[in-house]
Amino acid sequence: MSSKKFLSEVWLQDSSYPGRRSPNSMDHLSLEKTVTGYAARDSSGFLSPFTYALRQTRPEDVLIRVLYCGICHTDIHQAKNHLGMSKYPMVPGHEVTGEVVEVGSDVTRFRIGDTVGAGVIIGCCRECGPCKSNIEQYCNKRIWSYNDVYTDGRPTQGGFSSLMIVDQKFVVKIPTGLAAEQAAPLLCAGLTVYSPLKHFGLMKEGLRGGIVGLGGVGHMGVKMAKAMGHHVTVISSSDKKRAEAIDHLGADVYLVSSDEASMSSAAESLDYIIDTVPVFHPLEPYLQLLKVDGQIIMMGVINQPLQFITPMIMLGRKSISGSFIGSMSEVEEMLEFCEKKGLSSTIEIVKLDQINEALQRLERNDVRYRFVVDVAGSELDA
């Protein structure tokens, strides 16, 4: 790859303005790049080094050198084929922060050296209702950042790799006040809680919110809701995380879901509940906590039908809704919100060669919220 270095230098000299057209830019970007990532080869979900070619690049593409990538619960589902849709080899990872190393000739929003992020979605049709309303996460033709096929027919591969190519529409600038490793989990876990709070008009001060489950998404839920000025109740299946929730995350109340007395004393006390638990659980105990017009927002992937009796929602005009990550405009807003409020995720940094151990620990919930892989510090060949 000696020509790559040469061309990078040419491009650097020519890149004093973002989006400026370079006569070499297309040739440069159309060179195929080989990268190494950590891939699952089968449903054991065990990740090991895997070398592959990145897709052909286009004028609107941004080449990102991955710095950090958070480990999301979805990575386990995908790597282990829990949803029955996994294709191998698969490089997971969709909470990516990195440095822009090249930009295509039509890229106007980014320049070389910018710290940027990429998340769960890296493509959409741009023509359907959701796309035209800038809620492209609900596009039926969305392209996932890994375990999917790009428009050129190649498999998409995620952020546990040295480089990624992402269309500028799906790249976000990381504000200077946020560290790249802190920002990584915001791109999925943070956005996932921010988006529904914004969409459902719940960013008002003084609301009373509940967070069910205190994992990667749940801990961001507590922090976001507190930063919005809410009174926050954490509801968990055991007493294990009480001190953590109250002392570290700043929650106001901690309820153990099996403690019927405290659950009924909290009846009809909450304006909303964010339910992050990704395994089957009955909804009734949570529905009873909601005030009139309260709503429970589901965001854990559960592939088993849930049940509830209708009076639980009728007698109180309550609603059950779902929400899925957030839009690119919301991710920008959310990062600014986090910067302004000094809000970050609570992380444990690991290297790529520790990723299997980290995945196992995440699976048994043995993590203080979010693992972030120091990809750039992991000595992969670029």
Residues at the site binding Zn ion, with contacts judged by CB under 5 A: 72, 74, 124-125, 128, 131, 139, 188
Instruction: Compute the distance between CA of residue 14 and CA of residue 24 in angstroms, rounded to an integer.
Output: 9
Q: Which is nearer to Zn ion, 37 or 294 (CB)?
A: 37
Q: Which is nearer to Zn ion, 72 or 76 (CB)?
A: 72
219, 369 in Cβ contact below 8 A? yes
* Secondary structure letter of residue 149 according to DSSP: B
Query: How many Å from the N-terminal Cα to the C-terminal Cα in the chain?
Result: 10
Q: Which is nearer to Zn ion, 94 or 318 (CB)?
A: 94
Q: Which is nearer to Zn ion, 10 or 125 (CB)?
A: 125
Q: Which is nearer to Zn ion, 105 or 137 (CB)?
A: 137
Please report, as a single letter, which amino acid is at residue 334. M
Shortest Å, Cβ 187 to Zn ion: 8
Shortest Å, Cβ 124 to Zn ion: 5
Phi, psi of 360, deg, nearest 5: -65, -40
CA distances for 112 relative to 12, 18, 64, 65, 171, angstroms: 8, 8, 9, 11, 13
Tokens of 347: 């992380």
Shortest Å, Cβ 246 to Zn ion: 26
Please report, as a single letter, which amino acid is at residue 77. H
Shortest Å, Cβ 122 to Zn ion: 13
Q: Which is nearer to Zn ion, 183 or 270 (CB)?
A: 183
Q: Which is nearer to Zn ion, 127 or 205 (CB)?
A: 127
Shortest Å, Cβ 178 to Zn ion: 18
CA distances for 21 relative to 13, 16, 43, 216, 364, angstroms: 12, 11, 45, 41, 50
Shortest Å, Cβ 142 to Zn ion: 7
Residue closest to 297 by CA, chosen among 193, 206, 381, 216: 193
Shortest Å, Cβ 185 to Zn ion: 9
Shortest Å, Cβ 85 to Zn ion: 16
Q: Which is nearer to Zn ion, 75 or 102 (CB)?
A: 75
Instruction: Compute the distance between CA of residue 87 and CA of residue 150 in angstroms, rounded to an integer.
Output: 14
Phi, psi of 280, deg, nearest 5: -55, 135
Q: Where are the beta strands (DSSP E) in the chain?
A: 34-40, 47-53, 61-70, 96-103, 115-118, 121-123, 143-144, 163-167, 172-173, 208-212, 231-236, 253-256, 270-275, 290-298, 319-322, 347-350, 370-374
